[in-house]
Amino acid sequence: MPKVLGISGSLREGSHTRRMVELALQAAAECGSATELLDLREHPMPLFEAHRDYKDDTRIQAVVQKIREAECYIVGTPEYHGCMSGALKNLFDFVYTEISGKLFGIVAATGGSQGVSSLDNLRACLLYCHAWVLPYNVGASSRDFDDLGNIVNDQVVDRLRRVGRDVAVYGPLLWEQFRRDLVQPDGAPQGFAGWVQ
Ligand SMILES: Cc1cc2nc3c(=O)[nH]c(=O)nc-3n(C[C@H](O)[C@H](O)[C@H](O)COP(=O)(O)O)c2cc1C
């Protein structure tokens, strides 16, 4: 059973981002995936310090392990000044080697924009981590939600469900081939073998 991890990059209570990720995860579950949500509000990460070794920090390792175990992801960000949230970017500084070769579906919640800028920013970060990203994404503004945080725009719902379905279907295929490509026929490592965790 493919493992799809949802990651919500907003720390706001009642987050629209979290709602979007939950909906896409639901569609992935309907395709037979095992799904789980990682809400950064519930797993606060310290600011990443590149000179530090976090191996003995059990709280951080629990988050890293969840990310390592997943085969593909649905990640959501609130749009902050045209970029992903600082909390989400900080997470990727901890886990870039764990996400290489794996597929992401990306979604963004905004105040009023289409989310293009923050989604491009998130996509660029993931590509630099050698992850795959679906060739389309979903943006939803506050107008697409009611006061209870439900999504009231059917087009947004449809696109989120498509993200969930496509991540669940294409993610395991890409990851399987990527892993195979790390080893030459004689067993010697090749490609990104020295990078992937
Ligand atoms: C610091 C900050 C910066 C923001 N920048 C933008 C922005 O550039 N464009 C936009 O449309 N909305 C912007 N917003 C609004 C948020 O994207 C919007 O409230 C969104 O719903 C947040 O997602 P959440 O509900 O998951 O927290 C900003 C909000 C904050 C707090």
Q: Identify the architecture of domain 3-180 in CATH.
A: 3-Layer(aba) Sandwich (3.40)
Q: Is the pTM of this model over 0.75?
A: yes
Give the list of residues 6+ apart from residue 120 with CB closer than 8 angstroms, or none. none
- Ligand 1 atom closest to the CA of 81, numbered from 1: 8
Check pLDDT > 90 for residue 62: yes
Question: Rounded to whole angstroms, how far apart are CA atoms 166 and 78?
Answer: 22
Separation of CA 141 and ligand 1 centre (Å): 9
Q: How many CA atoms lie within 13 A of 149 on its CB side?
A: 12
Q: How far is CA 147 from CA 14, 16, 130, 154, in A?
A: 10, 11, 38, 16
pLDDT in tens, 82-94: 999 999 999 999 9
Residue 184, number of CB atoms within 10 A of its CB: 11
> How confident is residue 159, by pLDDT bands cut at 50, 70 and 90?
very high
Mean pLDDT computed over 50-56: 95
- Provide φ and ψ at 167, rounded to 5°: -65, -45
- Ligand 1 atom closest to the CA of 20, numbered from 1: 26
Mean pLDDT computed over 127-147: 97
Supply the residue whose CA is at minimum distance from atom 23 of ligand 1: 78
Separation of CA 36 and ligand 1 centre (Å): 25
Supply the residue whose CA is at minimum distance from atom 24 of ligand 1: 15
Separation of CA 155 and ligand 1 centre (Å): 21
**Residues 137, 106: contact at Cβ < 8 Å?**
yes
What b/e readout covers 52-84, taking b as 16+ CB neighbours within 10 angstroms?
Answer: eebeeeeebeebbebbeebbbbbbbbbbbeebb
Pocket residues: Cβ below 6 A from ligand 1: 10, 12, 15-17, 78-82, 109-113, 142
Give the start-to-end residue ranges of the domains of the chain. Answer: 3-180
